[in-house]
Structure 1
Amino acid sequence: MTAPAQRTTAARSRLEAVRARLELPTVRHAAGVLDGRHRSIFSGHGQDFDEMALYLPGDDVGDIDWKASASTGHPVIRRFQRESNLAMALCVDTGRSMATLAPDGTSKADLATFVCDVVGYLARSRGDLLALVAGDAERSVQVPARGGTTHMEALLHRIAGMITLDAPPSAMTHVLDLTLTWFTRRSLVVVVTDEARPTREAEQTIKRLRARHELMVVQIADALPTDFAGEVVADVDSPVRLPRFLRGRQDVATEARRVADTRQREVTDMLRRHRVPSVVVRGEDDVVDALAEVLARSRRAGS
């Protein structure tokens, strides 16, 4: 994994920066798909029970409580409190491999935080709630679902501050386990990791998360060492260095691409088995379109 120069996180509004970077039609498209997820995720009668009431013309016949109606002699319905906001949760890999380079030379950290910023921007603009579960091999952060600009800004800045080259190694299975055990409200869970994860060891957790929540995975693609044959390349997870003369060989580049494609295909196949939509982001221009695509696919998978 190729490492970029360290980034400096400025004290600025991440939500306003998203608005300045995105074209309005693009935002509307992504928000429109999210509206569809909002209607789907709370369909049916999974909301909290409110009260019993007499049936009136126009009420849903499916809400009639036939046992209570028989005892009272009048049709009685069960009313539920409707959810007014969609609960969303970011599940973020903050291991140091997330701070290396993407194929277009962009920092993966910048792409991952941009994905999170866009999710936060959409949640804030719709009045939805946003939670966070993030971590790596040595750290974990859990932030309850809340709304409002102050909450969103603090949450997004926290993510940006954690994804650095000196962070501990990734431990995405642990982060997914935390999401499963800690976040119980049915929600739209957006997993942000790299193209090598989640691995097969997380399969049972993925299966259980998919049963409890609407789940989608956004993977940030890795640059290969052979993509930068003429430059100094370091691997953040091992001291091994690939000599420059080897990085310039076509057969080495072909084999590196084959191994990376096989690894990524195994992850995609595992997610597909459990009907978890996923998308790979390879550069900054992909982010919003990729989110819109995976939201749409998640809607179809959940219907």
Structure 2
Amino acid sequence: MGKHLTRVRSLFGGDTRGMLDGGRHALLHTRTLEFDELRPYVPGDDVRDIDWKASARSGDVLIKRFVSEKHHKVLLVADTGRDMTALTPSGEAKCDVAGLIAGAIGLITLGRSDEIGMVFGDSRGSVNIRLRRGETHVESMLHRYHDAGSERAASDITCQLHYVATHYRHPLLIVVVSDEPDVDERLADVVSRLSGRHDLLWAMVADRAPTEVGRHGGYDVGTGRPVLATAAADPRVIAAYERAEHRRRQRLAEMLTEHAIPHVRVASSTELRSRVGELTRVRSRAG
């Protein structure tokens, strides 16, 4: 296993059973080797599934029934713009936490033999990695994601979502990995278009509070301007910021809920297992 998947596995664990089950689109049905039950033979059944010993005991021809398994085509959609160089509440770079989330999804697909691809980029455009299976493919995909950070433009996850809406017509499971975007008409429109055709999950990497950044003389990674500075110590400023953030997050949650899109907020790498697990469990219950 390559360095990116090895790191993900050390934080996420290797048990991915039951994750990403459910959902509207069963893109490929196969059966596992796990025995489920016996049932009477009906014309059209595969004769290789007849349990001859059980049939002899019962006097009827019985078929072995196996557990059914769904395979999906999974597309990661990720932001690699400047906003992802900011810090999370834990002090980690947001792009590092986002890479771990993408890796965890990749690790889950390996256990399910799902196909997975990736679209990532910033306001300049998108890079498309075609859907394939296998550990080598997932490791290569993560390597390209991390390498994309050498030259960053402004973040604009709507740009990547528009690319997917234009170029991917067949039903997919889309997992968006971004920061917490502001809701505007462009974002609302493309989310509406995508949710009508695909299954969507959204993992958002949390920002370190500007009030905390300001105390340390920090700056906005998107604009390069200082953040709050001495105003970060003013209780009125902190209260106003918290009210504005609450309203912004509420608008985002309402938009995602309106389109039945499960979503989680990830504040650090230590939350990787719990948050991604929560996201996939919500999807399984919806299936």
TM-score band, normalised by shorter chain = 0.7 to 0.9
SS at match of 2:22: helix
- The answer for the alignment partner of 1:63 in structure 2 is none
Residues of 2 paired with 1:211 and 1:240: CA distance? 39
- The answer for the alignment partner of 2:177 in structure 1 is 192
1:253 alignment partner, one of 224, 235, 238: 238
Q: List alignment gaps of at least 5 residues for structure 2.
A: 30-40, 46-67
1:153 is the counterpart of 2:139: yes
For these two proteins, the number of residue pairs brought into alignment is 253
1:85-137: CA deviation from partner (whole Å, max 9, x where unpaired) = 32111011111101101112221111100100111111123221111111111
How big is the shift at 1:296?
2.0
1:202 is the counterpart of 2:187: yes
Q: How does 1:32-51 map to 2 (within 5 A)?
A: 32-34=18-20, 36-37=21-22, 41-42=25-26
RMSD over aligned Cα atoms: 2.5
**Is the CA contact (8 Å cut-off) linking 1:233 and 1:241 kept in structure 2?**
yes
- The answer for the alignment partner of 1:284 in structure 2 is 269
Q: Which amino acid aligns with 1:148?
A: G
How big is the shift at 1:23?
3.7
Q: Which amino acid aligns with 1:123?
A: T
Q: TM-score, normalised by structure 1?
A: 0.76
The range that moved more, 212-221 or 233-242, is 233-242
- The answer for the alignment partner of 2:56 in structure 1 is none
1:124-174: CA deviation from partner (whole Å, max 9, x where unpaired) = 23221111111111131001100112211111111112246x510012111
Residues of 2 paired with 1:218 and 1:197: CA distance? 15
Q: How does 1:14-93 map to 2 (within 5 A)?
A: 14-24=4-14, 27-28=15-16, 31-34=17-20, 36-37=21-22, 41-42=25-26, 57=42, 85-93=71-79
1:240 alignment partner, one of 211, 221, 225: 225
SS at match of 2:19: helix
1:167 is the counterpart of 2:152: yes
Q: Which amino acid aligns with 1:217?
A: W
How big is the shift at 1:259?
1.3
1:216 alignment partner, one of 183, 197, 201: 201
How big is the shift at 1:200?
3.9
Q: How does 1:88-167 map to 2 (within 5 A)?
A: 88-163=74-149, 166-167=151-152
Residues of 1 paired with 2:186 and 2:105: CA distance? 27
SS at match of 2:277: helix
Residues of 2 paired with 1:184 and 1:192: CA distance? 20
**Is the CA contact (8 Å cut-off) linking 1:199 and 1:267 kept in structure 2?**
no
- The answer for the alignment partner of 1:72 in structure 2 is none
The range that moved more, 263-272 or 191-200, is 191-200
Q: Which amino acid aligns with 2:42?
A: P
**Is the CA contact (8 Å cut-off) linking 1:37 and 1:295 kept in structure 2?**
no
**Is the CA contact (8 Å cut-off) linking 2:182 and 2:248 kept in structure 1?**
no
Change in CA separation of 1:229 and 1:93 when aligned onto 2, cut-off 3 Å: closer
1:273 is the counterpart of 2:263: no
- The answer for the alignment partner of 1:13 in structure 2 is 3
Q: Which amino acid aligns with 2:166?
A: T
Q: Which amino acid aligns with 2:89?
A: P
**Is the CA contact (8 Å cut-off) linking 1:92 and 1:134 kept in structure 2?**
yes
1:264 is the counterpart of 2:249: yes
Q: TM-score, normalised by structure 2?
A: 0.79
Residues of 2 paired with 1:44 and 1:124: CA distance? 15
The range that moved more, 14-23 or 93-102, is 14-23
Q: Which amino acid aligns with 1:212?
A: R
- The answer for the alignment partner of 2:165 in structure 1 is 180
